[in-house]
Structure formats: structure tokens, C-alpha cells
Chain A
Amino acid sequence: MSIDSAHIRNFSIIAHIDHGKSTLADRLLERTGTVEKRQLKEQMLDDMELERQRGITIKARAVRMGYHYKGELYELNLIDTPGHVDFHYEVSRSLACCEGAVLLVDAFQGVEAQTVANAYAAINQNLTIVPVVNKIDLVHARVDEVLAEMEQSLAIDAAEVVLTSGKTGLGVDELLAAIIERVPAPTGDPNGVLRAMIFDSHYDSYRGAITYVRLVDGTIKRGQKVRFLETGTTHEVLEIGQFVPQRRACEELVAGQVGYLVCNIKDVKQVHIGDTVICPGDTIAAPLPGYKRPQRMVYCGLYPSEGENFEELRDSLEKLSINDPSFDYSPESSEALGFGFRCGFLGLLHMEIIQQRLEKEADLDLVQTAPNVTYQILKTDGTVLEITNPQDVPDSGQIDEFRQPIVRTNFLVPVEHIGPVMQLSTDRRGTYLKTEYLSPTRAMLTFDLPLADVIYDLHDKLKSVTRGYGTMDYELIGYMPADLVRLDILVGGKNVDALSIICDRRDADRRGRSIVKKLRSEIDRHMFEIALQAAIGTKVIARETISAMRKNVTAKCYGGDISRKKKLWAKQKEGKKRMKSIGSVDIPQKAFMAVLDTGVDRA
């Protein structure tokens, strides 16, 4: 069932979150007969439980669809992409396997921040864009305005836009036709030297690593040996196939096709995303351009609530990292929290997902420290330190330059909200770059902002000042020197290393005050007074006190009372979950997040 590459189309669908990508993908699967309607679960491609729960796509997916068009059978490979900014790198991975991208815009919401970001990512990879306005069945659809926005912001010719409704199936045939007519066929040579790009992998407990590949040149046959160029390992191909959307084995894959390899690889770490698959002994095959490695932007400490669960946590992290190579972890120890791991994530959503999966799948009780971004320090001796933990900041005397990551941030907002968004960004020491009007009612504002000020709560704040209509997206542009300090928090006179943060010196007073205030409400009263202090070096800049418990004694404890009272006393145990004792102070998990409180009044 070999297919000539002229009949192959590889494409992604890119969209802002919630614009109906998954629903439209379901319609494509249904229309092409890949999945029968009765088998169709809502949003077929989002098969991780968390993805379904949150209605978001996290991992890239690939599915092969067969479609008859003008009497000929075409193979359409849809490579699904995540929409959230945390998973940008997955988008670029997917796009590298495609010749085209369906750019989806909601007929009511219009062009949003990730629409722009993803469209540019596709354009930069020289993909053919098939623009679509989706959800045209909505009562409030404003198709003409949205078309104008697309033209204005992305230079898309309104005449080329396909109008669809993922809900009703309207326009799906036209979209399939547009994909076949407009997206170029892959150009590789089936008889050339084998080169395939690994664009994803996942772990199957029965088959080991399932490696997702896009064949660029040549042919892979079942039973042959292949070599992973970068890792330098050689494997026998036990099975090859395509996702339809379940795995379906076949005898061979040829240039232009997308599918999977099963090679009896027990350790997914041997599968490097972006690596090139070649024939062993083939010295002339040049590596394909790989991907930019995903950049871990956010770090936090994960500690078991019970110290003895350290090994369990290590095992769980390892299991998770098998399926998600984009997060990493290394053991660290904290004076306050004992032994745990410093974990790096793509962003806060990614962090939240990993934490949830750890608790769900491993049933581990975790204490998580507040996340921080990665900083750079140019030391006076000329060396550069990467700082992923505030504790690693050296003495100020050794610091020549303290640098923080800066992101270029686009806000797409209704024009009446430009003022509040300007305010929001300048409060966070953003550098204003420009305003572009997409239409008389919508504008795109661009700022350079410290990443630290973006990731924690800027998205929530944006939603609140724009009544839900504003969207944002950002990309890292580099590190810039700033006047940064480490702010330490002392609980009962003891510096709790896990509560330290790095912040701008000018914000330190405000942050310090709000952190100790927040801590005061999070930490229960103890038998003694607890002083909460924020300090830079030895200088205390804010203080709060938790007064001592005055009286806490059960009055009656006679025969019939004892069992009941005993349960109440021991019940405090449940409240102790996700709690860490530091010195003799019990600090609940929530308190470790208190340091995220920026002290900026809620807008």
C-alpha cells in the first residue's frame, strides 16, 4: 500500500486556545471516515485525562486520514499542536513536520495573541497557511470583522479564508479540498538515503518507546535496522505504522509519510526529540535540522511532605519524565524542607500539570515551593552563573551583573482596554514598544517585560482588566541586567530558604510586606509567638507577628468522651498534610505560595 508523495499532505492546525481546534479535528476524522461517528469521543485527539479535563491540548498528536478527492486517494496527516504558550516548542516541533498549517480563528473572538504567535511560527517555517474562520454558526459571529482583523494583522487575503463550523460540520469538505489543493506535497525522495525526523515519543508499558517520525527521504521497512544519528544507537524496527488514530502497523513508510517506530527501546531517554533516523553505516546522511531544545523557564522545588518518601518521589519523577522530556529535575536539599528536587518546567501551566499528575498517579503528598524564573549572574571573576534557586545567589560583592529573562509580550485587547493594559505593563516595569490596530476596535500592544512579572499572574490580571477579552502571548528575547536582590523570609528568627525570592530592589519593600502579611494568615497559631520577617541580607524590611495560642484544652474527658476526643486530637493529622515543620513551626503548603503575592493591588 505504498503511496506516492504527490498524494500526501502533512499539516497542523494552529489556533488560540478555545477557538475550536479539537472539535474541528474531530469533524475531519469523522468526514474522512477515520473514526466513525459512534466511536467518536468528544475531542478525540486530547486523550490524556488532564487534557480532557481542562479542554486543552498538551502533547502533539499525529493522525493519518485517508480521503478521496476528485477520484484519487490522498493521505492526510494531521499533526495536532498544543495551544498554550508553555508548549510553544511542541508547536514548532509539529510544524517542522508539515508543509501546511490550518490557521483557525474563532468567528466571534477574532484574532488573538496565540493566533498571531502561532501564525508567525508557521510563516517562519515557510508553511502554506490555510486560513479558516471557525464557529460561523455562532449567533454572535462577526465574520466580516474577523476577516478584516486577519488581513490587518497577518496579511491574509479574505478571499482565501475557508468558513467552517466544527460544531455543525459546515465547510469541512471545503477545508479538506483547500488542504489538498493548497498545501504542497512533500518533496522527499522515496528512493533516496533514509532520513526521518523524530518529533515526539511516548512510553507504552508493553511496547516500550513509541517513536513518532516524519520521513524526509527514503523508506523504512519493518525488520530493518536503523540508527539514531545523535544518540548513536542502533535498533531493529520491530513494528512500523501510522496512527489512525490508534496504532496500525504497516510494512513500510516512505518519504513524506508520518508514522511511528517500535524498536524495543525500554528507556525513552534514548529517543531524542529532533534526532534523525538513518540506516546504520550510512555515512553520507546529514542530520536534519533539529529543534531548539525546550527551554525550562520556571523552576520550583518539590519535596515530599514526609521525608521518607524521597525515593518514591524520585521514581515518580523519573516515570513522568519518560513521557515528558521537557521537564527536568535534579536532587537538591533545603535546610527547611530536607531532601527534594529542583524541577524545571516550560511554564506555570506545565508545572501545575506535572504536580497534579504526581499527586494523582503517584499518590504523593508534596510540598511545592513558589516557582521562580532562571536568572543569570555575571560574577566579578567574569564567570556566568545560571540561577534556578534563589539560594544560589552569591554575596552581592561577587556580583557584577544580575540579569533576568525578558520576554516580548503581545497583548491583543479591545481598544477601550488599552489604558488599563498599559498601566498593568508599566507597573511591572515593562518597556513599551508599539501599538498596532487590527481593526477600529482591537489593538495589539507590544511590551518587553521581565518574565518573572509575566508568568505569575499577568494573564489573570489581563483577563480581569479586559473583562476576559484580552489575550497575550510572549517569547523570550534574552537576559537583561536589572537591579535585583534576594529577599529572605525569616520565620521565628530562622531563615526559611524555601521562601526566598529574587525581586527588583524597588519592589522589595512592597513584596516583603505583602509576603509576611500573607504568611500571617496562612500559618496557624502556635504555642509560642512567631515573628515573620522579610530581609535583604541582614536588613529587616518588614515584620508581622503571629500571637501565641492562649488556651487550647478539652474540658471534658470522661469514659464516653475519650474515643471521640481522641479522634479530634488525631484529626489534626489530616490538616497536617502538605505541611512542613520548620524549627517548631508548621508551615502549610499554601504558605510557600504566599511569596508569589506581588503586593500589587488587585485591579
Chain B
Amino acid sequence: MIPALAPPRSVYVHVPFCRHRCGYCDFSLLAGRDDLFERYFLAMACELKRVPLPLALDTLYLGGGTPSHLGPAGLRRLFNLLHGPLVPVGTAEITMEANPSDVTGPLAALAKGFGVTRFSLGAQSLDAATLRSLDRDHSPDDVRQATATLLGAGLSVSVDLLIAAPGQSLAAVEQDLEAVIALGVQHVSVYCLTWEKGTQFDALRAQGILSVADESIERAMFEATIDRLEAAGFEHYEVSNFARPGFRCRHNEAYWDCRPWEAFGPGAARYDGRERITNHRSTTGWMTRVLEGQDFTGDRDAMTPEEAARERVVVGLRRRDGLDREEFRAASGLALDTIAGAAIVAWVADGLATDDGQRVRLTREGLLLSDALWQRVLTGRG
């Protein structure tokens, strides 16, 4: 039986502008094209018309790109567009991504005035050398100042940290962790640098100018991250995410619960419970298509209930809480053991997962190697 489609209660809005593109970034964005803001707002207004009735929201997430790069005027313009079609409930979590150097008292006040409850800061590091190697244009002090400003304004703060940067040592990662903990933020996301195809970093790697960290060192860095942040009172609740109790990112949890969500902007992906539809990835392509009334969707990923359930296993097990058999059946209509029973038994035997009969969780070892587990789950072999 296919569960009835519920209306989405989460919305993602993609802001595709940055001051410049960092060497490791392959996101859908335009650097140094502030002249296109206006056209972007027009297209956004147009795409928002896809929503016939105002949507009541539990979470709203402005990501990018760099939403803060729009500046106070631009942000005001964007929030005014969203206002109307989107109606966050009183307790809604509204997150906005920001560059540390963009954050000022007035910006924080303005955001707060539009209901923003949470900032996600693209800090990446608190070490000047690492920031330079990552092509970032802010200093460690910019991060400290931005954090203090936001926390002082009563906003919740998440900080992005990047590890295994070119040339970064384990000691440097440990120092960064201490510095991040000292910021007093509620949430930290830690990402191992991914060498995406087509990025400048990837080209430099191919030329032998940058080198990829050894897998063992990367693992040591990641384990140090988990150990240090947990010791400091953060819960490791998803592969890359750490939160003080009560401060998990509710928006991202909607993704990992496979709840439906809406999304607007270039490259933004929405999910109605059966199909994930991704908008045209190029910003200019999306704007032209939207404004000329053409089809602006890119990929479509339609899933059978079984395929959706397989996906649910993967995104669910990437969370440290793992999967609860009853919840899984209630949400997917299928039994977890029908979908992945044999795999789970094998993982438990290999020490990659634990299973108390009700809940299945990956062990740390399982989590660290988890990409190697998913093929079996997704293809349904075994």
C-alpha cells in the first residue's frame, strides 16, 4: 500500500550567490554576479507560485551559496517574497547560512526580525593557515566575532568545520576542535574535504600540487572529532553533525526521516514522498526557464515504495540513533528485515552494527565504512 502524500512541512530555499568560489566547491552558485540578484528575485517569486495555498512550516532553511551575501536589502527582499506562500508556525526553526565576515549586529537583528532562529556559519577552520589553504576570505577572528554577535542576539549557531584540508595535520584538526568548542555554539557540522570532480582542488591534485590525505590519517582526524566533541557534550547524531542536547537541526532531520519537503531555487531538490525532483542546476538556466515559463526541472528520481524504503535504510542508518523497526514499518509500510534483514545480520556479525531486536544502529566502525554497505541495501542483493 502506498502511504498517502502528506503536505510538506519543510522548505529549502537556494541562494546561488557567493563573493567568490572556493577551490573545493562544486555547489550550484555564481560568484561575483551580484548584478543577477534582481533577476533571481523575479524568478524566485515566479517559482513560489508552484505553491497554490500557503504552506504551514515547521522548518525553513536558506542555503547556498551564501544567503548572507545578498546583504540586508537583498535579504529583506527575499524574506518578503517568501512571506505569504510560506507560513512558519510559531515554533518553527528558520536557519540561514552565512559567511562569518558578512555577520553584523544589524544583519542579525534584521534576520531575527524575519523569524530566523538559527545561523549556520561557514567557518571551516579557526586556523589562519588552514583558512588560506581553503581559499576562504575570512579570518579566525571574523568567526569569533560573528559567533559572539549571533549568540548575543539570542540566535542559535551552528559552525561548519572542514577537516583533512590540504596539508592539514592531525594536531591542527585537534586545535580547531578546541577552538570551535570554545566558541560556545550549539551545533557543529564537520566535513572531511571531498575532492569533487571539476573543482579547482581536483585539478591541482591531478597536477600533483595538492595531495589527498592518507585514508588512515583522515580516519584518525574523524575519530578525534567524534571523541573530542562528544567529550565536550555534543551528541554525534549523524555522520557529519554534532549538537548540544535539544539543538539538532530539525530541518535536516526532515530529510533523514524521509518526510516530504519543498524546495525552491536553482539545483534545489524537493520530495513529495514518492519522487525527488531537482531543479535545473545552472542558476542562469533555472532563471531563464522559470521566467519564460519553460520546464525548469532537471533530474527526477521516482521511487517505488520499496525503493523509498531502501533509501530510508541508508539515510536512517547514517544517524547514530539508527532505525527503529516499528517506526520504520509505520513510515515505509515495509518491514526493515524484509528490506535489509540479511545485511543487518551480516553487519552485526562483523561488528559493523548492533541490533537489540527493536533498533538497529551502526557501530563507529560501521559508520566510518558505511559507504561500502549501501550497495547491498540499495540493490536489494542479500
- Least CB separation from B14: chain A residue: A560
Among B252, B271, B367, point to the contact of A553 (Cβ < 8 A). Answer: B367
Q: Does A549 contact B (CB under 8 A)?
A: yes
Q: How far is the CB of A503 from chain B (nearest CB, A)?
A: 35
A550 touches B255 (CB 8 A): no
For A555, the chain B residues whose CB sits under 8 A away are 191-192, 194, 239-240
Q: Does A572 contact B (CB under 8 A)?
A: yes
A573 touches B379 (CB 8 A): yes
Among B252, B270, B369, B374, point to the contact of A551 (Cβ < 8 A). Answer: B369
A560 touches B369 (CB 8 A): no
Listed residue (A551, A555, A570) with the most chain B CB atoms within 10 angstroms of its CB: A551
Among B192, B269, B350, point to the contact of A559 (Cβ < 8 A). Answer: B269
Q: Does A138 contact B (CB under 8 A)?
A: no
Q: How far is the CB of A338 from chain B (nearest CB, A)?
A: 15
Q: Does A477 contact B (CB under 8 A)?
A: no
Q: Does B315 contact A (CB under 8 A)?
A: yes
Do A562 and B276 form a contact, CB below 8 Å, given A550-B219, A554-B239, A557-B315? Answer: yes
Hey, what's the 0/1 contact readout for B312-339 against A, CB within 8 Å counting as 1? 0011001000000000000000000000
- Least CB separation from B299: chain A residue: A563
Q: How far is the CB of A539 from chain B (nearest CB, A)?
A: 30
For A550, the chain B residues whose CB sits under 8 A away are 215-216, 218-219, 368
Q: How far is the CB of A494 from chain B (nearest CB, A)?
A: 16
Find residues 229-286 in chain B having any chain A CB closer than 8 Å to their own CB: 239-240, 252, 255-256, 261, 263, 267-271, 276, 278
B218 touches A556 (CB 8 A): no
B378 touches A556 (CB 8 A): no
Q: How far is the CB of B180 from chain A (nearest CB, A)?
A: 16
Q: Is the interface of A mostly helix, strand, loop or mixed?
A: loop
A569 touches B371 (CB 8 A): yes
Q: How far is the CB of B42 from chain A (nearest CB, A)?
A: 22
Do A562 and B371 form a contact, CB below 8 Å, given A550-B216, A555-B191, A557-B239? Answer: no
Find residues 396-422 in chain A having any chain B CB closer than 8 Å to their own CB: none
B215 touches A551 (CB 8 A): yes
Q: Does B352 contact A (CB under 8 A)?
A: yes
For A559, the chain B residues whose CB sits under 8 A away are 12, 255, 261, 263, 268-271
B255 touches A562 (CB 8 A): yes
Q: How far is the CB of A588 from chain B (nearest CB, A)?
A: 15
B12 touches A549 (CB 8 A): no
A553 touches B311 (CB 8 A): no
A553 touches B371 (CB 8 A): yes
Among B255, B267, B314, point to the contact of A569 (Cβ < 8 A). Answer: B314
For B219, the chain A residues whose CB sits under 8 A away are 550-551
For B267, the chain A residues whose CB sits under 8 A away are 560
B372 touches A566 (CB 8 A): no
Among B240, B270, B346, B375, point to the contact of A573 (Cβ < 8 A). Answer: B375
A528 to B366, CA, bound (A): 11
Find residues 341-357 in chain B having any chain A CB closer than 8 Å to their own CB: 346, 350, 352
Listed residue (B215, B267, B318) with the most chain A CB atoms within 10 angstroms of its CB: B215
A549 to B373, CA, bound (A): 12
A570 to B380, CA, bound (A): 10
A566 to B318, CA, bound (A): 13
For A551, the chain B residues whose CB sits under 8 A away are 192, 215-216, 218-219, 222, 368-369
Q: Does A527 contact B (CB under 8 A)?
A: yes
Do A563 and B314 form a contact, CB below 8 Å, given A527-B369, A528-B350, A556-B240? Answer: no
A368 to B331, CA, bound (A): 45
- Least CB separation from B239: chain A residue: A553
For A557, the chain B residues whose CB sits under 8 A away are 239, 255-256, 315, 318
B372 touches A527 (CB 8 A): yes
- Least CB separation from B162: chain A residue: A555
Q: Does B370 contact A (CB under 8 A)?
A: yes
A147 to B215, CA, bound (A): 66
A555 to B161, CA, bound (A): 12
Q: How far is the CB of B113 from chain A (nearest CB, A)?
A: 27
A554 touches B269 (CB 8 A): no
Do A563 and B278 form a contact, CB below 8 Å, given A551-B219, A555-B191? Answer: yes
Q: Does A558 contact B (CB under 8 A)?
A: yes
A562 to B258, CA, bound (A): 10
Q: Does B35 contact A (CB under 8 A)?
A: no
- Least CB separation from B267: chain A residue: A560
- Least CB separation from B190: chain A residue: A555
- Least CB separation from A554: chain B residue: B371
A549 to B352, CA, bound (A): 13
- Least CB separation from B311: chain A residue: A566
A555 to B221, CA, bound (A): 13
B375 touches A560 (CB 8 A): no
A557 to B252, CA, bound (A): 9
Q: Does A39 contact B (CB under 8 A)?
A: no
B311 touches A556 (CB 8 A): no
Q: Does B301 contact A (CB under 8 A)?
A: yes
Q: Does A124 contact B (CB under 8 A)?
A: no
Listed residue (A558, A559, A562) with the most chain B CB atoms within 10 angstroms of its CB: A559
For B240, the chain A residues whose CB sits under 8 A away are 555-556
B263 touches A549 (CB 8 A): no
A554 to B192, CA, bound (A): 9
Q: How far is the CB of A423 from chain B (nearest CB, A)?
A: 40
Q: Does A552 contact B (CB under 8 A)?
A: yes
Q: How far is the CB of A527 from chain B (nearest CB, A)?
A: 5
Q: How far is the CB of B192 from chain A (nearest CB, A)?
A: 5
Do A572 and B239 form a contact, CB below 8 Å, given A558-B255, A563-B278? Answer: no
A557 to B369, CA, bound (A): 15
For B374, the chain A residues whose CB sits under 8 A away are 566, 569-570
For B379, the chain A residues whose CB sits under 8 A away are 570, 573
For A528, the chain B residues whose CB sits under 8 A away are 350
Hey, what's the 0/1 contact readout for A522-560 against B, CB within 8 Å counting as 1? 000011100000000000000000000111111111111
B215 touches A560 (CB 8 A): no
A550 to B192, CA, bound (A): 14
Among A526, A560, A562, point to the contact of B315 (Cβ < 8 A). Answer: A562
A553 to B319, CA, bound (A): 12
A570 to B271, CA, bound (A): 20
- Least CB separation from B271: chain A residue: A559
A493 to B344, CA, bound (A): 24
- Least CB separation from A528: chain B residue: B350
- Least CB separation from B279: chain A residue: A560
- Least CB separation from A527: chain B residue: B369
A584 to B372, CA, bound (A): 13
For B268, the chain A residues whose CB sits under 8 A away are 559-560
A552 to B366, CA, bound (A): 10
- Least CB separation from B254: chain A residue: A559
A292 to B56, CA, bound (A): 86
For B276, the chain A residues whose CB sits under 8 A away are 562-563
For B372, the chain A residues whose CB sits under 8 A away are 526-527, 549, 552
Known contacts A557-B239, A559-B270, A566-B378; 12 additional CB pairs below 8 A are: A527-B372, A550-B216, A556-B194, A557-B256, A559-B255, A560-B267, A563-B301, A566-B311, A566-B314, A566-B374, A569-B371, A569-B374
Q: Which 10 A-B pairs have the closest CB atoms?
A: A560-B269, A551-B219, A569-B374, A563-B301, A555-B191, A550-B215, A550-B219, A572-B375, A552-B371, A570-B378
| 16 sample A-B contacts, Cβ–Cβ < 8 Å, listed by A number | A527-B352, A528-B350, A549-B215, A550-B215, A550-B218, A550-B219, A551-B369, A552-B368, A553-B368, A553-B369, A554-B371, A557-B239, A557-B255, A557-B256, A559-B269, A576-B375
